[in-house]
Amino acid sequence: MMTTTNRLPADTHIHNREDEWKIEQGLHGAALPILDQSGPESYFIKPLEYVPFKDENAIASVGDRDMLFQDEPNWKGHIEWENYPEKKEKAHKILSSQNFPPPPEYQMGPIPGTNPVLEGVRWKQWHYAIGGALKTVPEESWEIVLKEKHPEMLHLLQFPYNGESPKRLTTAKDITPNSLHFVRNHGGIPYISRDKYKLQLDGLVKNPRTFTLDELMNPDVFPRMEKLVTIQCSGTRRIEQIVYNAGEGDEMINAPWAEGAIGTAKYVGISLKKVIKACGGLIEDGKHLEFYGAETYFKKNSAMNYVVSVPWSKVKANEVMLAWEMNGEPLPKIHGYPLRVVVMGYIGARSVKWLYRIKAISNPSLAPVQSQEYLYFNQQTGKHNQRMTDGIQIQEMPVSSAIMMPWNKQVIIHNGSIHCKGWAYSGGGRWPERVEVSADGGFNWYAVPMDTMSPKARFAWRTWELDLPCEAEGWIEILCRCWDNALNTQPLNVRAAWNWGLHVTSSAHRISVYSVNKKREVTRKRLEEFESRGVPFGPLTVPTEWQVQSWDDYHAYWNKADPRDVDTEYHAEDLEG
């Protein structure tokens, strides 16, 4: 219920705020009150204010949290929720008997210039609030990040950990080193030793059973599979959508991913199809496989495990793998040790890490990550009208690409061509056939030569390099787009891709760079002057202290070009002469 104190007549005189100009110019949208013009008089609606509350008695009535919320035997960081509705209810009571700080407003306000960029304060607090085995999870997970990931990783969210490699390293190799592979977590990083590990298979299979890792690794029963697979998060390149327009701030902070939320690795494992067959196959109307990840995820004051599903048709095609090895090493803890799902050509969200259970079901999973998140909405769907059924559940990824070098807003001095690097990928088993780059905003396109593209593979990206011809100087727009083997390509503007969930930024990657072409004689000479005077060329916007043109030059020009006014008679005579 809205109380009248939340409303202010829109014609009330309000004093300027300190950053009034910025607010008026849409550079701090979060500070702008919502304007309600729907009634006879207009109103401002004040934004929600965070007033902490905590009902200690209600929380205490739940019982001893250390007893209630324990890890499963042999696991660290796996509290089982899905089998215990009463435990879920108790967690819900604890979480709804207090409130937590709202997520940071970084889309319509300033984004921190720190690493980690965002901390995930309320996610940590949810873990502390449940207590028990979750108490120490945020700190322990961060320790694993520091141990397993490259020191140069860009930490977008400290907890749950979300991180990508910096641009210069993302495509430095065709196969992503494990330490540089992006990570998207929805909770902590659970751990179980390989010897204690068991995978449960149940639901609509003929013979439900469990498998040890040794059983799954027995090549006489389950033939080994080795596959080069690109995993791409549907949030890859989200920052372009955010810069264009703000979208949903979900329970899971929508990490402001750039082009690094994609990675390519060689996975070793087995086909899930064979494991289903070992259980006697599917029965009744078994049509989907639900995957359970061990860590705790939170949504709308509820605790749960990470659960999603894929259709049987995908499994049947031998495109769903249970993997224990990544680039010749056992899976790192952060990437799902000891066993993860790798769903080839699908959104990363289906490749469940710390897999402990697979359940055959008849319809796509009702778990929130499947049914409420990772939905691709129509552009008119938003905060005010978002229904689950208005979104397409993202499975196969579309074709996409990115420019990793040069960078947006970079000043480039060159000799008529700009060296560009990047990646291209297509989902669903399609692959990049051609990558094209434009230096004029998408009018003329140059194809990347075959010999500067990494080899084709059915479920992997291709990295590419190109010397992009560029005659023009000043601000230019460089774009790249990919054509896959089905001749799918990318829309040219981010507007065409924008959606409320900020997923699947499939538009051509577009950057602005400032071109300084030394092939032009004047430019070359001018740059020599900077050099000989020992003056750096940048920053771009700082006026240069000495003139490009001498006064002699100036007068010589006007002697030739005179008169400096237009007199038709005079002009006519001039022509006769």
* Residue 501: CB minimum distance to Mo ion, A: 11
* Residue 163: CB minimum distance to Mo ion, A: 13
DSSP-derived pairing of the beta strands 320-326 and 329-330: antiparallel
Q: Where are the alpha helices (DSSP H) in 34-97?
A: 56-61, 65-68, 85-96
Nearer to Mo ion, 203 or 391 (CB): 391
Give the one residue of 43, 69, 123, 182 binding ligand MTE; rule: CB under 6 A: 182
Helices (H) and strands (E) in the chain, counts: 15, 28
CA dist 262 and 237 (Å) reads 10
Nearer to ligand MTE, 351 or 454 (CB): 351
Nearer to Mo ion, 453 or 460 (CB): 460
What is the rounded (10 degree) CA torsion for 368, 373, 377, 382? 90
Size of the site for ligand MTE (CB under 6 A): 19
Inter-residue contact 55 to 90 (CB < 8 Å): no
Nearer to ligand MTE, 459 or 483 (CB): 459
- 425 pairs with which residues across the strands? 400
Residue 149 binding ligand MTE, by CB under 6 A: no
270 sits in the region (left: phi over 0; alpha: psi -120 to 50; else beta) called beta
User: Cβ contacts of residue 177 below 8 Å, gap of 6+?
Assistant: 150, 327
Quick one: tokens of 566? 């237009």
User: Cβ contacts of residue 571 below 8 Å, gap of 6+?
Assistant: none
Q: Which of residues 218-257 bind Mo ion (CB under 5 A)?
A: 233
CA dist 505 and 500 (Å) reads 12
Give the one residue of 127, 184, 340, 350 binding Mo ion; rule: CB under 5 A: 184
- 205 pairs with which residues across the strands? 282
351 binds, among ligand MTE, Mo ion, none (CB under 5 to 8 A by kind): ligand MTE
Nearer to Mo ion, 77 or 348 (CB): 348
Q: Which of residues 335-374 bind ligand MTE (CB under 6 A)?
A: 335, 348-349, 351-354
CB atoms within 10 A of CB 136: 14
Is residue 22 classed as helix, strand or coil in its secondary structure?
helix
* Residue 306: CB minimum distance to ligand MTE, A: 4
CB atoms within 10 A of CB 329: 11
186 binds, among ligand MTE, Mo ion, none (CB under 5 to 8 A by kind): ligand MTE
Nearer to ligand MTE, 157 or 478 (CB): 157
Residue 348 binding Mo ion, by CB under 5 A: yes
- 484 pairs with which residues across the strands? 432
Nearer to ligand MTE, 134 or 453 (CB): 134
Binding mask 225-264 for ligand MTE (x = CB under 6 A): ------x-x-----------------------------x-
CA dist 93 and 419 (Å) reads 57
The one-character DSSP state at 396 is B
306 binds, among ligand MTE, Mo ion, none (CB under 5 to 8 A by kind): ligand MTE
183 binds, among ligand MTE, Mo ion, none (CB under 5 to 8 A by kind): ligand MTE
What is the CA 35 to chain-centroid distance, rounded?
A: 31
Nearer to Mo ion, 79 or 233 (CB): 233
Inter-residue contact 167 to 152 (CB < 8 Å): no
Nearer to Mo ion, 133 or 326 (CB): 326
Stretch that binds ligand MTE, among 57-65, 179-187, 196-204, 314-322 (CB under 6 A): 179-187
In the complex, residue closest to Mo ion by CB: 233
Give the one residue of 268, 331, 334, 349 binding Mo ion; rule: CB under 5 A: 349
Residue 428 binding Mo ion, by CB under 5 A: no
Residue 414 binding Mo ion, by CB under 5 A: no
Quick one: tokens of 16? 């300027």
For ligand MTE, the binding residues (CB under 6 A) are 181-186, 231, 233, 263, 293, 295, 306, 335, 348-349, 351-354
